[in-house]
Amino acid sequence: MKTGVCYYPEHWPAERWAQDAAHMKRIGISHVRIGEFAWSRLEANGQYHMQWLTDAIDVLHAHELKVVLGTPTATPPRWMVDKYPDMLALDEQLQVRDFGSRRHYCFSHEGYLEECKRIVTVLAENYGQHPAVVAWQTDNEYGCHSTSISYSSHALDAFRGWCSETYKTIDALNTAWGNVFWSMEYDSFTQIGLPVGTVTESNPSHQLAYWRFSSRQIQQFNKAQVDIIRTHSPGRDVLHNFMGNFVEFDHHLVSRDLDVATWDNYPLGFLTRDSQNESDKARYLRTGHPDGSAFHHDLYRGCCNGRWWVMEQQPGPVNWAPYNPSPLPGMVRLWGWEAFAHGAEVMSYFRWRQAPFAQEQTHTGLLLSNGEEDVAAGEVAQLNRELEQLAIDGPPIVSSDVAIVFSYSGIAIQDIQSPGGAAFSALTFCQTLHSACRQLGLNVDIVAPDAALDQYRLILVCNHTEDDEQFTQKLLRCQEQTLKPVIALFPGSGSRSHDYAIPAALPPGTLQSLIDVKVVRSESLPPEHLLVAKASDGSVCQCKHWREQITSTLTPHKHFADGWGFHYTYNAVHYINALPERADLIDLLGQLATDAQLTIFNLGPDVRIQQMGNYRVVFNYGSESVSLDKHLGDAFGFSPSTHLLVGERTLNTADVAVWVVA
């Protein structure tokens, strides 16, 4: 793994650039991202002003640094908005997303798209063959600040065209959306409106269609840039930086046109902004949740055939979360090792130097705003020295026996009409499932529904809500293998058609060909209401949020007090028709993994381990030191004779240990 940094030469005097480049090289940085917010400095008043960018790239090249050049389309300049006032997106209240920050454009505006293609062409023609430029980043953080979906007139016109292309006839659309309900039928595609502003809830089929359309618009916007870059800069990787805890569009769809999926990792910001678990917020305030980064590492590793980077890594307090704590000493180094262990090719830090102006003044960098080193610079230097000592040749190898099938459209379906109630989050449940696997010491791949599954021993279907015949057939083929995998289907699996209707055969739709279960009722409950399922041997499982009533010829493992069954099994296929509490979920997954002939080891809440090839990397997120000899014993190839390549046998808070299994 190499390390990188996000750099903004346009923010600093040109005479400073060589000093910065030499400093980057000195602490072991090899990759530098530039240019993604620089349009106003690249072009003004109909004239290009690119000499400064040429000079900056040449300075970085002279110091043997590799450049990732960003396209500047996330920040259209003021003169662009003056030229196209209607390019601005509209939010759900039909308010203009105005100029003055960033991401102020609508993906459906054809005029703006042409301007983007023009500036990307100019950049690719000028720098596509420069020896320093090894990769390109398209735009920046698609969808950030809730900009995935626009409700502008341009988006409406494009949506009507998409509907016509998708459904062919208005009768077909009316049937697919169930528009006979409440007399919502249309006579022509030109009558279709936006799924906002209605008296009460708009048709969920309409909402889902608009989500799919919006994902397609992002994919096409991105592909227009990718195609230009590939034409003028062949052989360079093309990537985009996705975000954490963000599912507003289909990342798998966009990734089809990329070489590398990258993401922007802010563990403390995500915890304080997104977590609903107050205990976790307090426990991991300065470390981030032990599985928060790992979930996204595994998710984005599954987007581009295993190739992924971290494009922006938190180096200290950020500026945008409700609370912005400082990470514990050692955490910046730990987060780097964690990315390495999950197979990252590059770990890039945001940013090189703290900005003394504008919106991100309180967002730390590797350097202070005066140019002196901040704390993280030393930890990055230490990480680079340690990585150099390992001297690993070739691409990182991460193999997993467990797959979590993750569907962006499945989450959209569940979010539109949440079957688990107001406190239920489809994304959070997927993260809880992943976290439980990690606590059991299991490597996990997070894969799209169309990914190959035959190499996995345990397949967990947590949110594939669509009734998908092709997916069902793939699982059936897995069941034909000599060593068949264990498959677990969780609530909601196969419960809605592609157009958001209940399957004719009832949920889980075509998945009934794997296991004889039929969902006849679904209920959501307040989060404080626990349901206890009990087996004949007295064992229990506590569940909350959401459960389904099943009819089946199969005998359930447990029963709730009101007679509803819980957990049905047939031929190594499990249907888990309620959401277990975390401790019981860990026990359940432990049994499924054991049935799949996998070795499990409960690491507890704070310690995590990741296996990459023959390497084992262990992390301590807890407040107490941990003796690896006592905690691991002889698990994971660790023994009294094990030689540690990095770290000590007593793992302190925010510390890391690395060893090799022969």
pLDDT tens-digit map of 370-417: 999 999 999 999 999 999 998 777 767 899 999 999 999 999 999 999
427, amino acid identity: L
Please state the pTM of the whole predicted model: 0.97
The rounded Cα 614 to chain-centroid distance in angstroms is 26
Tokens 């449940």 -> residue:
429
Residue 46: what pLDDT?
84
**Amino acid 390: pLDDT:** 87
Calculate the average pLDDT of the chain: 97
pLDDT score, position 163? 98
Domain boundaries, the chain: 2-155+205-390, 402-595, 607-660
> Does the structure show a pLDDT above 90 at 662?
no
**DSSP of 261-319:** EEEEE-HHHHHHHH---HHHHHHTTTT--TTHHHHHHHHHHTTTTT-EEEEEE--S--S
Q: What is the pLDDT of residue 449?
A: 98
Question: Pick the catalytic residue: 36, 115, 248, 312?
Answer: 312
Tens of pLDDT, residue by residue over 26-40, are 999 999 999 999 999
Quick check: 312 pLDDT over 90? yes
Which CATH fold topology does 607-660 show?
Immunoglobulin-like (2.60.40)
Q: Is 264 helix (H, G, I), strand (E, B) or coil?
A: strand
Radius of gyration of the chain (CA): 26
Confidence of residue 491 (pLDDT cuts 50, 70, 90): very high
Of the candidates 234, 61, 7, 243, which has an alpha carbon nearest to the alpha carbon of residue 136? Answer: 234
Would you say residue 439 has pLDDT above 80?
A: yes
pLDDT of residue 376: 98
pLDDT at 421: 95
CATH architecture of 2-155+205-390: Alpha-Beta Barrel (3.20)
Residue range 145-199, pLDDT digits in tens: 999 999 999 999 999 999 999 999 999 999 999 999 999 999 999 999 999 999 9
Least confident of 134-148, 263-277, 342-356, 389-403: 389-403
Q: Is 141 a catalytic residue?
A: yes
pLDDT in the model for residue 391 = 77
Is residue 420's pLDDT more than 90? yes
Angle CA(208)–CA(209)–CA(211) in degrees, nearest 5? 65
Give residue 314's pLDDT band: very low, low, confident or very high (50, 70, 90): very high
Buried b (16+ CB within 10 A) or exposed e, 499-531: bbeebeeebbbbbbebbebebeebebbeeeeeb
Marked catalytic residue, from 36, 43, 115, 141: 141
Place of tokens 């940085």: 29
190-216 average pLDDT score: 97
- Asked if residue 329 has pLDDT above 90, the reply is yes
User: What is the C-alpha separation between 275 and 287, in angstroms, rounded?
Assistant: 14
% of the chain surpassing 90 pLDDT: 98
Q: Tokens 């023009």 identify what position?
A: 118
Query: Exposed, middle or buried: residue 114 (CB in 10 Å: 0-12, 13-18, 19+)?
Result: exposed
For the stretch 582-627, pLDDT in tens is 999 999 999 999 999 999 999 999 999 999 999 999 999 999 999 9
The residue written with tokens 């190959």 in the block is 452
402-595 has CATH 3.60.10.10 classification: no
268 pLDDT band, cuts 50/70/90, is: very high
Q: What is the pLDDT of residue 17?
A: 98
pLDDT of residue 161: 98
Compute how many other C-beta atoms are within 10 angstroms of the C-beta atom of residue 182.
9
The closest alpha carbon to 330, from 405, 380, 367, belongs to 380
Helix (H, G, I), strand (E, B) or coil at 380: helix
